[in-house]
A and B are shown apart, each in its own frame.
Chain A
Amino acid sequence: MSNTSENPNPSSSSAKITLKTSDNELFEVEEAVAMKFCTVKQYFEDEKDNDVAARGSSTVIPLPNVHSAVLARLISYCKKLPQSNAVADNHEEEETKKKERKQYGTPGDLVDLISAANYLDFKEGLEFFNQALADHIQNKSVEYVRKFFGIKGDFEPHEEEKYREEYAWAFEGVDED
């Protein structure tokens, strides 16, 4: 993990960093967790260089693009992060990971989480939530995808029919639901 070198002593992980969200809520998080967010890390280090952070835990890092509800979920995901980031290489592991990814609810939630993870430059989170969203639309019908994202099909019926006929193989054997 990238932060272990900075924070070798577990007792020092009690150092807290305060994050301020777009709706003006304050989050006091452990330094180890906050450092997962590269944007925060960068800000923190810049502050350090400017000697402003001499006051330590009293530094407040503003996150004007992240809502408190989203940040809370990202932090809780961050705390659960497994130590090894190894790719699942057998069937069971893959299935467990899939189940885990399924817990993160509606597409709207996931898009919010992805956008926030993107803004925070939180690599593990991005990988996880991107895959979670992709899982939702894997092997699903066009109708399902439309409903899932709340999209209206804007092809003319005859255009769509022609395409479906031509690419019939792509429309076969999709999951029901």
Chain B
Amino acid sequence: MEEVNIPFFHVDIASEVLSRLSVKDLSSSKCVSKGWNSFISSPSFLRILSKRVEREGPSGLFFQMFKDNVDCVSRPITYIPIHKNRSFIQNNILNFLPEEVVIMSSCNGLLCCRSCIHPIDDYYRRVRNREAKELVIYICNPMTKEWIALKPEGCVVGDSIGLAFYPFGYSLNTRPIFKLVSIQQSKVDPHLYSFAMYSSQTGSWTTSKEVCHCRYQIYKNNKVFVGKMFNWLTQNHHILSFDVERELSKVIKLPGEASSSLILGCSEGYLHYVCVHGEDFSVWMLKDYSSSEWVLKYQVTLVDICQESYTDLTHCNVKRRLLLAFHEDLLFMPMDRCLFSYNFRSRKLQQLCYISMLQDLILSNPTVIPYSISLTAAGVFKEDQSDENKSSEDPRDVSSLKISKRKRTC
């Protein structure tokens, strides 16, 4: 094996030290030498890094106003980075994409968006004299500004799309791959849902044979991907889960009493469900999909949450507490004109930023997507392309992959 030019005696020590650096530092450090490059790019190091990044919680939150079956063309996407000391609101972070998009989901550093397919109203369509727009799905890396566009072919793809990105491959294949799953309600029977899937490995879309019978309407913008399961929140205190590996779906009842303040999230590889009743916060974990067994992981009151922080927020009595996102035991919620995160593990409440400007957005039940910057997500499309060019005999695959080199706007 080639000697790795790392100035540490032990590979473990090099991993320990370098995994503390930011993704940006690591990206530039690849340039230090060939040894550093191969070390930082090695799957064993990237795995250690992923674990550390995962435990630290999300790097930021994407926000967008949501209204079912209507895509406002001018619906801005807001990004709030989460720093230890300061957070500020960023707009236009997805400006590198060729059109206005609706944010869908995120996984391991990649973000999935789609084009606006529901025109605002009939008036808009008449005036512009155009048909409902064609669906284009964008998978992008907001950090490196790399992206690809996918146009579904040969099957019906719905307007709620989940992304699963496996940076270290899938089963026997160790190349990074991603999968998409969309859910669509049957036009004939509104209680039936079907699924369309895409895999970057095959480069093609397929309609799953699985059909889910679910009496409850799904919330298209309240979904979370955990392991191999896509989960959509539904009305009447249930979730609809789809196993992307086995192509099986299931409707699972949520634990406890129904609440109007609730959120789904992922933590330590398990599906979590957070709900609030009055001043009581409960965090449930789905221990086992097959038996639908939930366990109560944390239960705290608002007084407990505020206890260790400088601000007393118990006076902010609200009829319905808004929960924005839950990720790796961190709960994000607005209180008293600020965005707060509460860490159930360390019991720390942290004020992130003022959101007075975003108050309307926050109150509108927006789509909120936790995003984690990841080194494994850099350059994945590039590899895809060279791979496709080499191995693919179907020219359609290549034409459907549009690769954009990142352009810098200073």
* Size category of the binding interface on chain A: 35 or more
Chain B residues whose C-beta falls within 8 Å of the C-beta of A164 in the assembled complex: 31
Q: Is the CB of B22 within 8 A of A150?
A: no
A115 and B25 in contact, given A130-B16, A154-B34 (Cβ under 8 angstroms):
no
Provide the residues of chain B in CB contact with A38, threshold 8 Å: none
| Contact present for A160 and B16 (CB under 8 Å) | no
Chain B interface size, under 10 / 10 to 19 / 20 to 34 / 35 or more:
35 or more
B32 interface neighbour in A130, A142, A169, A174, Cβ under 8 Å: A142
Bound Cα distance from A130 to B21, whole angstroms: 11
Q: How many Å lie between the Cα of A101 and that of B10 in the bound state?
A: 21
Binds A, one of B1-9, B193-201, B204-212, B361-369: B1-9
- When distances are taken between beta carbons in the complex, the residues of chain B under 8 Å from A130 are 13, 16-17, 20
Q: Tell me whether B12 and A118 are in contact (CB under 8 A).
A: yes
Contact: A91 with B28, CB < 8 Å?
A: no
Q: Mark B27-68, 1 if CB is under 8 A from A, else 0.
A: 111111111110000000000000000000000000000000
A170: chain B residues within 8 A (beta carbon):
24-25, 27-28
Chain B: CB-nearest residue to A88: B84
Task: Judge whether A171 and B25 touch: CB under 8 Å.
Answer: no
Residues of B within 8 A of A134 (CB): 17-18, 20-21
Q: A169-B144, A174-B28 are in contact. Are A151 and B33 (CB under 8 A)?
A: yes
Closest to A127 in B: B16
Closest Cβ of chain B to A122, distance in Å, is 13
**When the two chains form their complex, are residues A167 and B27 in contact, meaning their CB atoms are under 8 A apart?**
yes
Q: Verify B29–A142 contact, CB threshold 8 A.
A: yes
CA distance A151 to B145 in the complex (A): 31
**B143 in contact (CB, < 8 A):** yes
Interface membership of B85, Cβ < 8 A: yes
The answer to whether A137 has its CB under 8 Å from any CB of chain B is yes
Is A114 a contact of B13 with CB atoms below 8 Å? Answer: yes
CB closest residue in chain B, given A89: B348
| A155 to B35 Cα, complex, angstroms | 10
B8 touches A114 (CB 8 A): yes
Q: Is A131 an interface residue (CB 8 A)?
A: yes
CB distance from A167 to the nearest CB of B (A): 5
A-B residue pairs in contact (CB < 8 Å), sample of 19: A87-B346, A111-B13, A114-B17, A115-B8, A115-B9, A126-B16, A138-B22, A140-B25, A142-B29, A145-B32, A151-B32, A151-B36, A155-B34, A167-B144, A168-B406, A168-B408, A169-B143, A169-B408, A170-B28
Which 7 A-B pairs give the minimum distances between C-beta atoms? A170-B27, A134-B20, A170-B28, A149-B7, A91-B85, A142-B31, A130-B16
